[in-house]
Each structure stands twice: as structure tokens, then as C-alpha cells.
Structure 1
């Protein structure tokens, strides 16, 4: 039984996609992670202050 390697050869990976704004350059993958973290942070700040719908 032959098992596939778990690590991909670096030479098979193509160039990444980068986004640039002036002097700031960030990869698309990192940008998605940053946006997700900001959205979760804002949600964590706002959720405790939402009105309770079940309380009368």
C-alpha cells in the first residue's frame, strides 16, 4: 500500500495573489484572515449589547 506524501513540494505551488494599496502589500489569503478577524471582533463587541428578544 502506497501512501501519498503529506507535504506538497514547494516547486509545485504557483505564485500567490497580492493586493496593494500604496506602500502596503498583503496576500489575498492574509487579507481574508484579517477581514474575518475584524468581523468577529466587532461581533464580539456588539453581541452583548443586543436587546434580549425573549425577555418581556
Structure 2
């Protein structure tokens, strides 16, 4: 499964839906909103499922 910028994903362990901003090697930088606050973090693509 290829994850690319613009995909909506979720951690396999659960959590909020996130939008992929960019992908580099085996990592994807994802952003999501916690209420009105935007958050972002890098995750291994193997830990993500497309929604």
C-alpha cells in the first residue's frame, strides 16, 4: 500500500484521522486537528492505514 501526500490516514492502533502532508522514505508527516488546534507528527508508513 502506497501512502502519498493528500491521503487521509489513521494509525493502525486508532486515533484521529490525519492528512498526509509529505512522505520521505518510510516516514509520513501527518497533520490533524485537536479541537481548534492543528497538530502534526511524523509516523512510519507501516503504522498507518488509509481511511
TM-score (norm 1): 0.22
- Name the structure where strand makes up a greater proportion of residues: 2
- Greater CA radius of gyration, 1 or 2? 1
TM-score (norm 2): 0.23
